Structure 1
């Protein structure tokens, strides 16, 4: 049977960071991401669930800004997720 793991990564003004840390429990991952999202220059912190060793099992769990959990449909922060409309030519 495959083990469920939870990865946490952060978004900064100039970078979407790689996975920082892995947890075996969703509770621990959420707690870390919530706290990490309050750090200097961190725009958001996200939790993603995976089944260890199985492709195609990535599933977003939660994301936080300033310690507050965000809606899954909310606009993501940072330059890698532009929110301004591009003017038509």
Structure 2
């Protein structure tokens, strides 16, 4: 998966709040990379196959791009091998 283009993604910058939990439904092996906003929440489509965590990383990168943050600020809390995933946004504090 190449670097996602911001112009094709919805603006999810409002989700970039420390401690924010983001529930997404993932569709791997899709025909395109996209994020869709629906009545039932966020739906993330990625072209990557779900093996060895590749799809999880693709989802994390796509979400981070739409939010305007670094992918390292998103942690997969639940759903390693499920379609329903819970990401948590966190910013490491500098001491």
TM-score tier, shorter chain, comes to 0.3 to 0.5
- TM-score between both structures, scaled by the size of structure 2: 0.31
Q: Which has the higher contact order (CA 8 A, sep 6+)?
A: 2
Q: Per residue, is there more strand in 1 or in 2?
A: 1
TM-score of the two chains, using structure 1 as the length reference: 0.32
Structure with more helix by fraction: 2
